[in-house]
Structure 1
Amino acid sequence: MPHQPPPSFGIMTAPMQTGYHDILRVWREADAIPAIRHAWLFDHLMPIGGDPDGPAYEGWTLLSALAAQTRRLRLGVMVTSNRFRPPALLAKIATTVDIVSDGRLDFGIGVGSRPGHPLARREYEAHGLPFHHSAHAVGGLDEACTLIRRLWTEEKPFDAHGTYHHLTGAFGNPKPVQRPHPPILIGGRASSTLRTAARHADLWNIPGGDIEDAARRSALLDRYCEEIGRDPAEITRSIHIAISYDAPAPARRAIGKAITEGFTHIVLGLPTPYPAQVAQWVADELITPSL
């Protein structure tokens, strides 16, 4: 395997079944711990675990608040559902967060919830959002990535009339702090999503689970990159790993296997409730032993 950079570690605080001040406490603590490089929220409008009627916060609004109260962490939504917001609106939202954070945004995006996941799908009906079939969602994601990048970089208004999105006089002002634009992280494991990642992603994230499957998906991404003439090494491999406070050893083993398979962007999912000094615990129990 070619030389790879040292791993970077981050945390995920899913904004459900908890409160704003609890998440803020964890992010502020993590912001002061250099071993934790990045922090993430998810993008669901209703809980997908625990009490289905419990609290869930809108990801981008919360991210902007957290961006204003941290100074060092890179941050993002892992990953934005492209089904929730039109791409031009999403580009404007992301630009605002990049400016609020002084250029710390990693822009995570994906097709959105799986149609067969009832706890995820119900949020569309509950909020009056259309839930298109998977082919529509994947095609819409590919177009959205192109449009968002254009809005971040082009200096004159433009029209765009694709299969899924239509813009007239589209223009992004202001531009993001990061140039040419914030890094794009595409999340997902389906082959159609991997083809989109090959075209657009700076980082690709897979939602953990079976490390061997993640390695196979990573190899498939390599192949798709090679088919379009892109160097696969241009795409950082990211993986989400769930942790247990009572039993950290399985997560340590998963981290080691993931790094061996070339995943250098490690996102550790923190379950609620968050213990006191949980970010320091993550650094001591999971990150330091893995370096």
Structure 2
Amino acid sequence: MAPSFGIMTAPSQVDYADVLRVWREADTVPEIEHAWLFDHLMPIFGDPAGPTYEGWTLLSALAAHTRRLRLGVMVTSNRFRPPALLAKIATTVDIVSGGRLDFGIGVGSRPSHPLARREYDAHGLPFHDAAYAVAGLAEACTLIRRLWTEDEPFDFHGTQHRLTGAFGSPKPVQRPHPPILIGGRSSATLRVAAEHADIWNIPGGDIDDVTRRSALLDRYCKDIGRDPANLTRSIHLPVSYDRPGDTRAAIREAIDAGFRHLVLGLPAPYPADVARWTADELIGPSA
């Protein structure tokens, strides 16, 4: 399987016009196959009072302004939205995009991040412990898939979610449903990914740790009788405009470690023609 390359534009500390410019340009660059936003409600870097856009609303706007790119949120915080509502939001984006959504989801922010926890308190959102959050992610994946695929209303009585007469209409364009990307590195999240994900994403960093996490995912897949080769490995790698050689080296390491879905994080401010530069300087020499 040949590597596929995408970009990430964190919708924080930037203007909408800047993100739109980059996505429109990327839509014309064949080497870039997918594009991503993140899911935070307040800044987690830079000026704490700076702008941050809601990811799914922005994604729908960008879907309407592009024609080719696959697109998604890397990754949706399952702590922010009830899963039935999230299923409806994602369906809407899949329809607006003409069937180009990759559905990214994860547990949500770690409380250890110095700026992540405040967005929950500031928006009146509960922040439960990790075990509760991981269980909620598993339930959400089950519910969302059922809402996307089942033709009759159903009741659901889970540990965290109780739905009566749940039904999704319209359905997503993609059948049976948009690909599900689960992001995370904890053992508990990897177990959820083994069961529910089409794509698993991990933030880049220590390549040895990343490789160990991928091997652990292999084991969890085998434990439930799933072929690990059917779960695409994805990695997010930060881009350096000043030292592209370092980024190219990280890309090569990731590909050698078995990662075939590579997301290149573009820091703001975005240079002119940054998508074309990414293809020429990073993707072309690495593909």
TM more than 0.5: yes
Deviation at 1:80, TM superposition (A): 0.1
Deviation at 1:196, TM superposition (A): 0.1
Instruction: Assess if the C-alpha contact under 8 Å between 1:38 and 1:74 holds in 2.
Output: yes
Name which of 150, 158, 162 aligns with 1:162: 158
Aligned to 2:214: 218
Deviation at 1:69, TM superposition (A): 0.3
CA distance in 2 between partners of 1:31 and 1:239 (Å): 21
Unaligned residue ranges in structure 1 (runs of 5+):
none
Unaligned residue ranges in structure 2 (runs of 5+):
none
Instruction: Assess if the C-alpha contact under 8 Å between 1:115 and 1:134 holds in 2.
Output: no
Runs in 1 of length 4+ with deviation above 3 angstroms?
none
Deviation at 1:118, TM superposition (A): 2.5
CA distance in 2 between partners of 1:233 and 1:244 (Å): 31
CA distance in 1 between partners of 2:230 and 2:128 (Å): 31
Q: TM-score, normalised by structure 1?
A: 0.98
CA distance in 1 between partners of 2:195 and 2:206 (Å): 25
Aligned to 1:129: 125
CA offsets 1:101-151 (integer angstroms, 9 cap, x no match): 000000000000001113011000000000011110000000000000000
SS in 1 for 2:116: helix
> In the alignment, is residue 269 of structure 1 matched against residue 262 of structure 2?
no
Name which of 16, 20, 24 aligns with 2:16: 20
Aligned to 2:226: 230
CA distance in 2 between partners of 1:44 and 1:117 (Å): 12
Q: Please tell me the residue identity of whatever aligns with 2:47.
A: D
> In the alignment, is residue 102 of structure 1 matched against residue 86 of structure 2?
no
> In the alignment, is residue 8 of structure 1 matched against residue 16 of structure 2?
no
Q: Please tell me the residue identity of whatever aligns with 1:38.
A: H
CA distance in 1 between partners of 2:112 and 2:253 (Å): 29
Aligned residues: 287
Q: TM-score, normalised by structure 2?
A: 1.00
Deviation at 1:210, TM superposition (A): 1.2
CA distance in 1 between partners of 2:87 and 2:254 (Å): 31
CA distance in 2 between partners of 1:118 and 1:154 (Å): 41
SS in 2 for 1:28: helix
